Each structure stands twice: as structure tokens, then as C-alpha cells.
Amino acid sequence: MNSDAPGQVDQTKADAADDAFTGKPGDFQGFKVPLTWSPMLTVWRKLHVEIDSMGSVAGNQINTAFTDIVGTGTALTEARGIDTIDDGSANLDREPPGNGRFKNGTLTVGTVPSTITISPITANGNTKVTFPTSSIAGLPFSAIDNDSYGNGTMSGTITQVTKSGDNFVWTLNVTAQNENPIDWPDFVNGTLSVGGGSNVSVVAASAATSRLTTSALSIPCVIHDDDDDTLLPKSPDTSTLAAAFKPTYVVPVYDVGDNNMNVPFVRNVPEDSAATLTIQRWNSRPQNASGFWVAYLLAGFQGQLSRDRDPDTELRTLGDTVDPDGGSLIYLEIHQSHEGVGNPAAEEQDTVLHETGHAVARSPDEPVTDGSSTFNANYVNRIRSSPRPWP
């Protein structure tokens, strides 16, 4: 409850104001008896906010292998022949083309612990990634000859790989072998594995140049986009909610729900409203009523795939609320500076306010805030006259 200072009507001032207005002194007939204003009563409402977060980011990378290259091992510009990495975003193979989901991401070549990271990826197609000239020299290799038993083996690192027609020629720095001297010709029809990848057939060998030629290439790799996988779990930033709701006579309190910080992770929440509702874990939803206002905030990772800024030419969905079922999602990955947001903290606060505003005002109308964590006049009025939050 709020009270304004009580006051009493000043008859002299009222008469003077009337005289000035009408130009007829003494004609005012109002307020001839003393009148006392009551204190103004304002009904404040509590908004019970349940806060959840998706659990840790999982599976936001592709573990695959490339089977072809453009350039050489020390001047590599493209890794090709990858199992499809098309996620529907505009990429080099689409029309109109785009830079693909993995732009600004990383390509980690080889298997742990001997990996080489290439960054940034400049673009991807359905089966390839491109990047500034890079080197994969230094990747470990192991080779075995074609004997039935008592095989000759050698291992070390590669110093170069080049394409020769359909074949690949590997220059090797041998650091270990089980025969001395190495019987290079015996490795023909044997196999070579590079970076922990699949064995590929050796078709030629040269002791003079320390080279093996293979009929194929298969190097394991991990492709990751520019997302920050450490963002979840985390509660959305509600620090400006109380101040923003004050002009609407609403006090947010955080006393409902189970504060579930391990809601199953979904990399991209689809546009589909029904699907979004199934992602929510809004326990306090049944409590929402005109006499007990409840709102729900769920920290998520990214909105629908075509609006997750992967690549960075896409639109961004910062948050959304299901109309008219309620429940709001705040997409933390989209609020980061690497996604082009100038002030991530302020943007996240504004998004929390924006989505809560939609839900409490029961309105899809835009805009909601003035962009700096204050409801605009339209929403102040809508929230003041709302019967309860969605649904």
C-alpha cells in the first residue's frame, strides 16, 4: 500500500483560481465547505517469478572427419569431404549462398591429445569448411606394413601432405620404428593413420624422400561454431526487474517453483509454440491466477535455428514468450559480445524485462521497453490494467 500526503482544499486558492479563469470575481460556488482528501491508496501486486535454467550445453559440435583438402598440409585452405554439416543455414552450397553456421568457429584436427586447432573458420558448405591458410604439419601418424605377422611399424609426425591426382603424398618425420633400417617398400599395401584417423591404404613409398602415398585421406576433426558452451546453467539477469515494475505497482518476488537449473538442454528452441511449451518446466504455472500472479523465466541457449546468428548474417532472437500460454525464454548465447551485442549485460536485462512484460501485460504488442530496462508508457498502462499474467 502506498499513501500520498493528505491535504485539505484551500478555499481561498480555489476562489482565486476561479476568478482568474472566469473573470467574474466571487461567482465560484464550489468547495464552500472544508473538504479533506484521503490518502491515495495504491494496490501493489506481487509477481511471483519462477526461474529455471537449461543444463550444461551438450552436443554443440560435430565430431567428424575430412577426406579431402584444398592446398597442402602446410598451406591448407579448405577441408572437404565431411559428412554433411548442413543445418539449414545459408552456406556456401545454398542458394542464395551464405557463410554457414560455422563461420568464426574452430576446426580441431586430430584426436586428443595431439590436435591442431584452426581458427577462425571463414565459411562452410554442406561438406566443407574454409579457413585462412593453415598448417596441419605436426599431426601424429602411424603406419603398418602389409605383412601377415611380424609387421613393420613406424610412427612420428607428418611434415607435409600434397594431392597427386586421386592420391595423397605424405612426407613423414619418423620418430619411432620397429625395424632398422625401415623397409619402406614393404609399407606398400599397408596402411597409414594420421591424427588418429582411419587407416588408409598405402599405394607407394619412397625411402629417399620419407614419403608414403595413400589412395585416400581420413583425418578426424571437431567442428565448433562461435558459440560459448560455458554459458549454461545460469539464471537470467533479473536485477532491473524490480525497478522497472515499480511504476506499474508490481513487486517481483522469487518464491515459487523449484529453481530447476538442469532443464534438458535444447540447442535451438524451435519457433513452434507447442514445442516450446514442452521445453518449459514451469511448476508454478497452475498457481497463476488473478489473485496470485506468476511468471516464468527459463534461461536457454539459442532460439530458432534461422535466427541464432550462426552465421552472423542471421537475425537474432534474444528471447521469446509463448502467446497466450505464457512462459518466457531468455537466450543467453545470443546476448554475447561475440554475437555483436554491444552491452551484453544491459541487453540481457532488457530482454528479461521485455519478455516478462509481454507475459504480465498479456500483450504481444511491440515495443515493450524503451531499450534501457524501463517499460514504455503503453506497457505501464497495460500491466496496471492486466487481470493476471499469461496464461
Partner 1 sequence: MFRLNWRLTPFVGVVCFVTSAASSSGDALNVRVEPHKSTFFVGEPVLITAVVTNPGSEPVKVFYHNAPTLAPDPPSIVDLLFGADELHVEHWSDGLRKVSKMGPKLIAPGESVTIDLVMLFSREDGFFVKVPGTYWIQGRAVIASSPYVEVLSPPVAIEVREPSRVDRSAWQWLDAHKEEYGRLVQTPWEAKMSDEFLEECDRLCSASQSKYVEYLALFLSRSYREGPKKDAAEAGRFADIAKTKASSEKIRSEADKLSRAVQPPLSPSAIAQSEVDPEIRIAVAERVEGFGSALTSGRMDECASALSEDFLYNGALDKTRALAELESEFRKVSGGVVTIRVDSFSRGPTVDEVEVSGRYMIVAIGREPSTQTVRWGLRREGSRWVIWRWDRAS
Q: Give whichever of 126 and 160 is closer to partner 1, judged by the CB atom.
A: 126
DSSP reduced 3-state for 145? coil
CB of 196 to partner 1, least distance (A): 24
CB of 320 to partner 1, least distance (A): 4
Q: Give whichever of 72 and 356 is closer to partner 1, judged by the CB atom.
A: 356
Sequence-distant (6+) residues with CB within 8 A of 186 are 145, 146, 147, 152
CB of 372 to partner 1, least distance (A): 9
User: What span, in angstroms and rounded, lies between the C-alpha atoms of 138 and 142?
Assistant: 13
Closest CA to 252 of 373, 126, 166: 373
Q: Give whichever of 85 and 154 is closer to partner 1, judged by the CB atom.
A: 85
User: What span, in angstroms and rounded, lies between the C-alpha atoms of 255 and 338?
Assistant: 34
Rounded to 5°, the CA angle 85-90-96 comes to: 135
Which residues in this chain contact partner 1 in the complex, by CB under 8 A? 83-84, 86, 93-95, 125-127, 271-274, 276, 303, 306-307, 315-324, 351, 354-355, 358, 363-368, 370-371, 376, 378, 381, 385
User: What span, in angstroms and rounded, lies between the C-alpha atoms of 333 and 301?
Assistant: 5
CB of 265 to partner 1, least distance (A): 19
Q: Give whichever of 264 and 324 is closer to partner 1, judged by the CB atom.
A: 324
CB of 330 to partner 1, least distance (A): 9
Q: Give whichever of 123 and 212 is closer to partner 1, judged by the CB atom.
A: 123
Q: Give whichever of 225 and 355 is closer to partner 1, judged by the CB atom.
A: 355
Contact 72/164 with Cβ under 8 angstroms? no
User: What span, in angstroms and rounded, lies between the C-alpha atoms of 176 and 181?
Assistant: 11
CB of 32 to partner 1, least distance (A): 32
Burial of 79 (0-12, 13-18, 19+ CB in 10 A): buried
DSSP string, 221-243: EEEE-S--TT--S-----TTHHH
Q: How far is CA 39 from CA 4, 36, 44, 199, in A?
A: 5, 9, 15, 86
Measure the N-to-C terminal CA separation of the chain; round to a whole number of Å. 26
CB of 365 to partner 1, least distance (A): 5
User: What span, in angstroms and rounded, lies between the C-alpha atoms of 206 and 153?
Assistant: 15
CB of 244 to partner 1, least distance (A): 15
CB of 295 to partner 1, least distance (A): 14
Q: Give whichever of 260 and 356 is closer to partner 1, judged by the CB atom.
A: 356
Pairing of strands 45-53, 250-253: parallel
Q: How far is CA 124 from CA 103, 107, 239, in A?
A: 7, 11, 39
Q: Give whichever of 192 and 217 is closer to partner 1, judged by the CB atom.
A: 217
Buried b or exposed e, range 234-253, using 16+ CB within 10 angstroms = ebbbbebbeebbeebebebe
User: What span, in angstroms and rounded, lies between the C-alpha atoms of 134 and 140?
Assistant: 17
User: What span, in angstroms and rounded, lies between the C-alpha atoms of 345 and 353?
Assistant: 12
CB of 290 to partner 1, least distance (A): 15
Q: Give whichever of 15 and 226 is closer to partner 1, judged by the CB atom.
A: 226
Q: Give whichever of 264 and 364 is closer to partner 1, judged by the CB atom.
A: 364
